[in-house]
């Protein structure tokens, strides 16, 4: 080849003496130096690289610069010129740091932030619920009774039948907080309590009829009534926050039912770490039983031991779960497992370790004798 002739790195043809570009350690016809994303020639003085491929700067940003899952804009760089964002540890929802300060609502169930192009449902007590969680949400006391019976069957399958008929009521946040203040004893999960095992006589406002969805995605036509709770045993009633998905409502019920079982079976004055810990173990076991009961061929996980199989027959009637509900169940289990509080989080981890090592019955026997978990 004559001296001075060059081969285009794009088309592999001779460039000759015409215009050419010298980029990336090679020479190109101007029309051959193309963007990897849009395949149009790069005519700008500056361009971006990813691997060995050139991009228009705008195309590179579109493909590689993260967008906020809330406002859908490119996540801005910080003062150091770095892309800084927040991400939910389970859902991996990415969002601008500013959304933690601009009062962007979160779903009261799954914790995901409300995207700007999506409407969450506004509940009467100010909480917001995403539409995926709304799909299985339980909205009134009557609607919750079948699930409550399933939780009772679950306990009976563990040979832990609660012999007293304990009323169960679905309530708004305000009613739950007022009932909590009326309790003389008890430790509660802050910043928000979603369930309560009552031991005092109180009048509680319960949700009588499922509300409807009105304009602006607000709940309307909610019917409530005052319900006088009479103490006939160590447990007066179980209260659960309304408007939560079935799996979360069930895990709260399983937790509060364990409080009732402990009080009715001679486990007085337990430390918060032991009592809340073992209650969280039962909530986690119920979630395990529910999630595995709808998976054909699956065997219940080790934390449920063999007891879960006897309590899963009712659950299996519900049919196949949606992919989101499966993910939601995993999220609720993850919340229990990763809780940072001493009573609920560390209590669960110590209690679950004891149940896995000694089984549930021997763990409970040890708690009754010593007030502590076996090690």
Give the tens place of pLDDT for each residue, 258-274.
Answer: 999 999 998 988 999 99
Question: Where is the domain boundary, 43, 64, 85?
Answer: 64
Query: Secondary structure of 81-149 in the HEC alphabet?
Result: CCECCEECCCCCCEECHHHHCCCCCEECCCCCECCCCCCCEECCCCCEECHHHHCCEECCHHHHHHHHH
Q: How many domains does the chain have?
A: 2
Give the range among 40-49, 102-111, 267-276, 344-353 with minimum mean pLDDT: 40-49
pLDDT band at 157 (very low <50, low <70, confident <90, very high): very high
CA angle 256, 260, 261 (to 5 degrees): 115
Confirm whether 69 is domain-assigned.
no
pLDDT band at 2 (very low <50, low <70, confident <90, very high): low
- Helix (H) or strand (E) holding 169, with range, is strand 168-171
Strands 219-220 and 244-245: unpaired
Let me know whether 147 and 58 are in one domain.
no
* N-to-C CA span, the chain: 82
Confirm whether 173 is domain-assigned.
yes
CA angle 177, 195, 100 (to 5 degrees): 70
More confident residue, 362 or 62: 362
Confirm whether 261 is domain-assigned.
yes
In angstroms, rounded to a whole number, what is the distance separating the alpha carbons of residues 3 and 224? 92
Q: 54 is in which domain, residue-wise? A: 34-64
How do residues 171-199 score in pLDDT, each as one tens digit? 999 889 888 887 766 555 555 789 999 88
Determine phi and psi for 128, rounding to 5 degrees.
Answer: -115, 145
Confirm whether 330 is domain-assigned.
yes
Q: Is the pLDDT of residue 303 over 60?
A: no
Let me know whether 304 and 166 are in one domain.
yes
Let me know whether 54 and 164 are in one domain.
no
Let me know whether 195 and 46 are in one domain.
no
Burial of residue 237, with CB atoms counted within 10 A of its CB: 0-12 exposed, 13-18 middle, 19 or more buried: buried
Let me know whether 189 and 48 are in one domain.
no
Using DSSP, state whether 293 is helix, strand or coil: helix
Nearest to 352, CA basis, from 282, 300, 275, 250: 282
Let me know whether 333 and 229 are in one domain.
yes
Let me know whether 42 and 150 are in one domain.
no
**Average pLDDT over every residue of 339-356:** 96
pLDDT band at 307 (very low <50, low <70, confident <90, very high): very low
Let me know whether 144 and 240 are in one domain.
yes
Confirm whether 215 is domain-assigned.
yes
Let me know whether 42 and 163 are in one domain.
no
Let me know whether 152 and 253 are in one domain.
yes
pLDDT band at 160 (very low <50, low <70, confident <90, very high): very high
Let me know whether 56 and 182 are in one domain.
no
How do residues 275-294 score in pLDDT, each as one tens digit? 999 999 999 999 999 988 75
Residue 188, phi-psi category: left (phi > 0), alpha (psi -120 to 50), beta (remainder): beta
Confirm whether 142 is domain-assigned.
yes
Confirm whether 114 is domain-assigned.
no
Confirm whether 99 is domain-assigned.
no
More confident residue, 222 or 145: 145
In angstroms, rounded to a whole number, what is the distance separating the alpha carbons of residues 276 and 294? 28
């Amino acid at each position: 080849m004559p001296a001075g002739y060059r081969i285009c790195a794009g088309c592999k043809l001779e460039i000759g003496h015409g215009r050419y570009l010298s980029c990336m350690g090679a020479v190109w016809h101007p029309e051959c130096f193309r963007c990897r994303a849009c395949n149009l020639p790069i005519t700008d003085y500056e361009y971006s690289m990813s691997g060995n491929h050139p991009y228009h700067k705008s195309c590179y940003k579109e493909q590689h610069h993260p967008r906020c899952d809330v406002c859908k804009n490119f996540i801005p760089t910080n003062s150091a010129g770095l892309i800084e964002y927040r991400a939910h540890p389970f859902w991996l929802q990415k969002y601008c740091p500013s959304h933690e300060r601009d009062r962007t609502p979160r779903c009261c169930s799954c914790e995901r932030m409300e995207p700007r192009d999506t409407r969450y449902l506004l509940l009467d007590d100010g909480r917001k619920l995403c539409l995926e969680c709304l799909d299985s949400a339980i909205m009134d006391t009557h609607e919750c009774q079948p699930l409550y019976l399933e939780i009772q069957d679950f306990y009976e399958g563990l040979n832990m039948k609660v012999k007293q008929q304990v009323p169960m009521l679905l309530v708004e946040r305000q009613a739950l907080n007022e009932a909590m203040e009326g309790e003389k004893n008890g430790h509660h999960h802050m910043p928000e309590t979603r369930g309560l095992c009552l031991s005092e006589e109180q009048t509680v406002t319960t949700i009588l009829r499922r509300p409807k969805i009105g304009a602006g995605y607000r709940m309307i036509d909610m019917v409530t009534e005052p319900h006088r709770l009479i103490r006939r045993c160590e447990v007066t009633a179980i209260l659960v926050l309304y408007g939560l998905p079935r799996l979360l409502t069930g895990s709260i019920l399983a937790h509060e039912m364990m409080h009732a079982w402990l009080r009715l079976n001679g486990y007085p004055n337990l430390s918060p770490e032991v009592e809340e810990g073992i209650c969280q173990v039962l909530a986690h076991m119920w979630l395990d039983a529910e999630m595995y009961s709808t998976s054909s061929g699956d065997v219940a996980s080790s934390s449920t031991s063999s007891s879960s199989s006897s309590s899963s027959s009712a659950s299996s009637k519900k049919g196949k779960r949606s992919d989101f509900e499966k993910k939601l169940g995993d999220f609720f289990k993850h919340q229990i497992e990763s809780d940072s509080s001493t009573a609920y989080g560390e209590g669960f981890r110590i209690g679950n370790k004891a149940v896995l090592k000694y089984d549930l019955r021997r763990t409970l026997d040890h708690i009754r004798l010593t007030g502590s978990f076996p090690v």
